[in-house]
Chains A and B, each alone.
Chain A
Amino acid sequence: MYDFVITGAGLAGLEFGYLMAKKGNRICVLEKDSRIGGCLQTFRRNGHLYDTGFHYVGGLDEGQPLNTLFKELDLLDLPWKRLDNDAFDEVIIGDEHYFFANGFDDFAEKIITDYKSNGNEISKESAEGISEYARFLKDVGDNIFNVLNDAAHSNTMDLFARSAYQFLKDTIKDDKLIGIVSGTSMKLELRPETLPLYTFAQINSSFIRSAWRLEGGGMQIADKLAEGIKNFGGNVFTNAKVTKFIEKEGIIKAVEINDGEQTIEGKNFISSVHPKLTLDLVPKEGSQIKNIFRKRIANLDNTYGMFTVNIKLKDGVVPYKNRNIYIHNSFSSIWQQSEYQPDFNNRSLMVSYQAPTDGSIFAKNIDILMPMYWNELTKWEDTKVGRRGEEYKEMKRRLAEKCIEKVTEYIPELKGNIEDFHTSTPLTYRDYTGTIEGSAYGIRKDYNKSLMTVLAPNTSIPNLFMTGQNLNLHGVLGVTMTAFMLYKQGNF
């Protein structure tokens, strides 16, 4: 019998599995797909490697949050490449350019300098606001580990119950500056009506500390963790879809695989898939899980998805940039991206360069990412990968061309130098990773309903737990935090 049976071999499932296996537990990780990795998956086409959901991480320098966690996970020896210290992100808004620098003081100073050099006047109050903003982010990030031992840590929950947008209004005051500091936040959903300050501050804080790419793609993280689990005596099975949790006498006794093909018994059961999907796997009859909890979870909204264009470039023509580029139409459009923008020009884009593994000064691949909404895709919601029809392919091709055209305005070398490109939509993510509506960041946290939307790892069944991006925080740091929260709080 296994000590832990884990559903889903994405980042959280593998990290938790690795931590428990390292402690001497017998682990079994079950993945429905033919490949592990979830959002870390890379894919190969014509010999070239493309990333899917992984682009860069924050806070990996010595003593910083992700470093501390990755040290325990033995992930620090992967080929991490630090982005430029003085410009790890570039934010383009209309025709103004801003560069994000690492270090909180340098970050604030650079924003103010760039603001002036773009021809803007800054009030003393707003300049002080930027410095206060940077200090606040540092403080929030310094305290990230408070939730490891107490999921309901009061300062953390207070930040979950505060509006990110209102905080920026109160602190920075100047709408243009609010747009600038939010300009790299496509890695979360900027939605003024719901976004909690905790999510905004924690994620931005980690990248301002330091920002890193992984040479050779995000899949190496999943592979290393899975290999580690196996080396500690555990198992990682693919093509093993959990189709039922078998609950008897108030606890889960086993999981059923592939509609009854096999059952696997265990002492504890961890689900790293979406909470709604998890609860759907627990039969209602005689369950400890109340229907009201199921209904609440089923009714939670999910964040937007992503449209991605993976581009293979011709060799030796497009210079590699050791930073990301974010492109926005206007200062006000930045906080409007949680809703579908009918005017394509109003949609924000992110450009990510894949770090060359051969030391070349030229890029081989770039990815363009753009928020995409389920209502753009409902026409094809009943289709499966590779069988969605010509109209879908045409929609993707048109959208990709528009994205490439817009990015070419800022990276002119792209013109005539694209060898090939591939696209994916939230439907692709839904079908490969099982996230609801292909949501990029999972359940939408809402500062008005923080108690309802910030879920705890435990459930009403004492040996069934949840982990992953739908809980405390998303992103590589966020998901890793949820794995550690369960590790520390589970009292296993």
Chain B
Amino acid sequence: MTREELVAKTNEILADEFEVEIEDIQPDGDIKKTLELDSLSIVDMVALIEETFGVKILGTEVSKIKTFDALYDFILEKVNA
């Protein structure tokens, strides 16, 4: 999977599931603010990404990811691992 494909897929599922406009998701945007995440819905985001990309994410890893760009890189690394 190319980075472009991964970005498109990630944005599509996040916009769809968290009920935000896809244009609101900007690479340097803050994930928590954009998706209006609280401590509970972060778990939902992790579950969604794990299910979509077949990767496993640890709680300690997710707390370090702040922007969408960082999220794409993180998923890409996992997918290609």
B39 close to A (CB within 8 Å): yes
**Contact string against A for B residues 39-81, beta-carbon threshold 8 Å, 1 for contact and 0 otherwise:** 1110110111010000010010000000000000000000000
CB distance from A472 to the nearest CB of B (A): 15
Using CB atoms, name the residue of chain B closest to A158. B59
Q: Which of A152, A291, A296 has the most CB of B within 10 A?
A: A296
B28 close to A (CB within 8 Å): no
CB distance from B25 to the nearest CB of A (A): 15
The answer to whether A451 touches B40, judged by C-beta atoms less than 8 angstroms apart, is no
The answer to whether A451 touches B41, judged by C-beta atoms less than 8 angstroms apart, is no
Identify whether the interface residues of B are mostly helix, strand, loop, or mixed.
Answer: helix
B23 close to A (CB within 8 Å): no
The answer to whether B18 touches A290, judged by C-beta atoms less than 8 angstroms apart, is yes
Of B40, B41, B44, B59, which is within 8 A of A157 by CB?
A: B59
Of A291, A448, A452, A458, which is within 8 A of B43 by CB?
A: A452
Using CB atoms, name the residue of chain A closest to B46. A451
The answer for the CA separation of A292 and B14 in the assembled complex, in Å, is 10
Give every chain A residue within 8 A of B38 (Cβ-Cβ). 460
A410 close to B (CB within 8 Å): no
B5 close to A (CB within 8 Å): no
B19 close to A (CB within 8 Å): yes
Using CB atoms, name the residue of chain A closest to B42. A451
Q: Which of A293, A451, A459 has the most CB of B within 10 A?
A: A451
The answer to whether B59 touches A292, judged by C-beta atoms less than 8 angstroms apart, is no
The answer to whether A290 touches B44, judged by C-beta atoms less than 8 angstroms apart, is yes
The answer to whether A292 touches B18, judged by C-beta atoms less than 8 angstroms apart, is yes
B17 close to A (CB within 8 Å): yes
The answer to whether B41 touches A460, judged by C-beta atoms less than 8 angstroms apart, is yes
The answer for the CA separation of A451 and B18 in the assembled complex, in Å, is 19
Quick one: given A157-B59, A451-B59, are A293 and B46 in contact (CB under 8 Å)?
no
The answer to whether A456 touches B59, judged by C-beta atoms less than 8 angstroms apart, is no
Quick one: given A292-B41, A293-B41, A458-B40, are A452 and B19 in contact (CB under 8 Å)?
no
The answer for the CA separation of A292 and B35 in the assembled complex, in Å, is 12
Quick one: given A456-B39, A460-B38, are A293 and B44 in contact (CB under 8 Å)?
yes
Give every chain B residue within 8 A of A292 (Cβ-Cβ). 17-18, 41, 44, 48
Q: Which of B19, B44, B50 has the most CB of A within 10 A?
A: B44
CB distance from B78 to the nearest CB of A (A): 16
Quick one: given A157-B59, A460-B38, are A290 and B43 in contact (CB under 8 Å)?
no
CB distance from A380 to the nearest CB of B (A): 33
**Contact string against B for A residues 61-92, beta-carbon threshold 8 Å, 1 for contact and 0 otherwise:** 00000000000000000000000000000000
Give every chain A residue within 8 A of B43 (Cβ-Cβ). 296, 451-452
CB distance from A72 to the nearest CB of B (A): 28
The answer for the CA separation of A143 and B47 in the assembled complex, in Å, is 29
Give every chain A residue within 8 A of B50 (Cβ-Cβ). 449
Give every chain A residue within 8 A of B46 (Cβ-Cβ). 451-452
CB distance from B65 to the nearest CB of A (A): 14
The answer for the CA separation of A296 and B46 in the assembled complex, in Å, is 11
CB distance from A364 to the nearest CB of B (A): 48
List which B1-42 residues lie within 8 A (CB) of chain A.
17-19, 38-41
> 6 closest A-B pairs (Cβ-Cβ)?
A292-B17, A292-B44, A451-B43, A452-B47, A293-B44, A296-B44
**A interface vs B, CB < 8 Å?**
152, 157, 290-293, 296, 448-449, 451-452, 456, 458-460
**B interface vs A, CB < 8 Å?**
17-19, 38-41, 43-44, 46-48, 50, 56, 59
User: With contacts A292-B17, A292-B48 known, what are 5 further pairs, Cβ within 8 A?
Assistant: A157-B59, A291-B17, A451-B43, A451-B46, A460-B41
